[in-house]
Structures are given as structure tokens and as C-alpha cells.
Amino acid sequence: MRAEILLAIAMAVPLGACRRETRTFRESPPASMATDVAVSDLHPGGGLPPERSISPDEQNAWALNEGKRLFSAYNCSGCHANGGGGMGPALMDEEWSYGHEADQIYRSILEGRPNGMPAWRGKIPDQQIWQLAGYVRSMSGLAPKDVAPSRSDHMSATPPENATPRLTPRNAGLPPASVH
């Protein structure tokens, strides 16, 4: 038994390293469409919840770092500030209106959401939406610490994502109507 645990630990490090460090410059587009996403965590009784697709970027440091770069480049801070929220809801807290899993965040960015989230479908490539979704998760500590981005090279407004404590996600109600 102890031998197996040790072996598992010994294997985890190398495999973790491989997943963390790959750089995938071009993903095949159709596979990343993720059409089976549910916005709500509730599902009808009499069965188990449907299978989810796993984000390809969850364990990949390069993808999350790209997400961080794109968050700033595409001006997500314009509404979400550096995670604290403003016109848009806060992204670094534990409250999630439309789901906290990577594929749910992916759909939120792709489709837009009522009360002000623009739809980015067709405006940025799918791979970048996945990278952004992974980064948004890391803002509330949901990404593994060795994979989450560290500080940016700009003036810092928040602690780095790899120092953010993990916040247990919980469903919030609808975000308030946008404030002007």
C-alpha cells in the first residue's frame, strides 16, 4: 500500500510537470466548442448529473498566463476591474451567477449574459476564450498553485493569483442591473 502511494506521488510530479509546461499554440477548433454546457448546477432528480467536458487548460500554466494577458488586452478590466468588479460583477469572490466550472465560464464569455456581459463569439478565437475562462477561475484561487499565474509586470492591484486563497464557489442570484 505504501509503495503504491509513493509510486503515485513519484508519477504525479513528472506527469504534472508535463501538463503544466506544454505550450499549445493552435488547438483544433471543433473540439473546443463544448456544446454540452449547463448554466445551472441543478439537474432533474432520478439520475446523476450529465458528464462535463474538461477544459484543456486547467493544468496548463502557459494557458492561464495567456488568459491573464488577454484579460488585460481585451479590457475585461473595463467592467470587472482587476477582479473586484465595477459595472460588472466581481470575479475574484466566491459568488458565481452562471456557474464556476471552466466550461460554464467559457459559455458566459462566448454567449454574453443579460445585464451587460457582451458576447465574444466570433470576436475572439475559441482557444482564447478557454484561456480566459481558466484565468477567471484562478482569480478566486480555483487553479492549482503551481499553475496559477503570478504577478503581472504592471502596477499591482490584487495579490497574484498563485497567492490567492481558494474560495469555495457558491451560487449567487442574478447580478444587480448594471450601475451607471
Partner 1 sequence: MGDASSFQSALAAAGPQAAHIERLWWLMFWVASGVFTIVTAFVLGAVFLKRREPIRDDALRVGVTLGIAATVLTLFVLLVASVWTGRAVASLGAESAVTINLTGRQWWWDAEYVDSAPSGRFHTANELHIPVGRPIVLNVTSHDVIHSFWVPNLHGKRDLIPGYTSSIWLQADTPGVYHGQCAEFCGLEHARMLLRVTAESAAEYENWRSNQVRAAAEPPGDAERRGRDVFLHATCTQCHTIRGTIAGATMGPDLTHVASRGTLGAGTLPNTRGHLAGWVLDAQSAKPGSQMPPNSVAGGDLQMLLAYLESLK
Partner 2 sequence: MSLLDRTPAQAEGERPEPPLDASHALPSASEASAERLERVWAEKPGFVGWLSVVNHRSIGLRYIVTAFVFFLITGVMAALMRIQLARPENNFLGPDAYNQIFTTHGTAMMFLFAVPVMEAFGIYLVPLMVGARNIAFPRLNAFSYWMFLFGGIFLFTMFALNTGPDVGWFAYPPLSGPAYTPGKRADVWAQLITFSELAALAVSVEIIVTAFKLRTPGMSLDRIPLFVWAQVVTAFMVLVAMPAVMFASTALILDRLVGTHFFNPAEGGDPLLWQHLFWFFGHPEVYIIFLPATGIVSTIVSTFSRRPAFGYIALVLALVSTGFMGFGLWVHHMFATGLPQLGESFFTAASIMIAIPAGLQFFCWIATMWGGRVELKIPMLWVLGFLVVFLIGGLTGVMLAAVPLDLQVHDTFFVVAHFHYVLIGGALFPLFGAVYYWFPKMTGRMLCERLGVWNFWLFTIGFNLTFFPMHILGLHGMPRRIYTYQADTGWGDLNMLATAGAMVIGLSVVVFLVNVVTSLRAGALAGDNPWNASTLEWATSSPPPNSNFINAPTVSGRDPLWENPPDQPVVVGLRDDVRDVLVTYLLDAEPDHRTEFPEPSIWPFFSALATTGLFIGSIFTPWAVVIGAVPLFVALTGWFWPKKPGETGTQRWPIRHRTLPLPGEAPTGGTA
Residue ranges binding partner 1 (CB under 8 A) = 23, 25-26, 29, 73-74, 122-125, 127-128, 153
20 is a site residue for partner 2 (CB under 8 A): yes
* Minimum distance of partner 2 from residue 143's CB (angstroms): 12
Name the one residue in this structure whose C-alpha cell is 497567492. Answer: 163
Nearer to partner 1, 59 or 131 (CB): 131
Residues 110-149 binding partner 2 (CB under 8 A) are: 145-147, 149
Nearer to partner 1, 76 or 142 (CB): 76
Nearer to partner 1, 11 or 73 (CB): 73
- If DSSP codes are grouped into helix, strand and coil, which group holds residue 12? helix
Nearest CA to 153 among 65, 53, 41? 65
Residues 6+ apart with CB under 8 A from 172: 95, 96, 97
Query: How far apart are the C-alpha atoms of 93 and 137, rounded to whole Å?
Result: 10
Query: How far apart are the C-alpha atoms of 23 and 83, rounded to whole Å?
Result: 26
Site residues for partner 2 per CB under 8 A: 14, 17-18, 20-23, 61-62, 64-65, 68-69, 145-147, 149-156, 159-160, 162-163
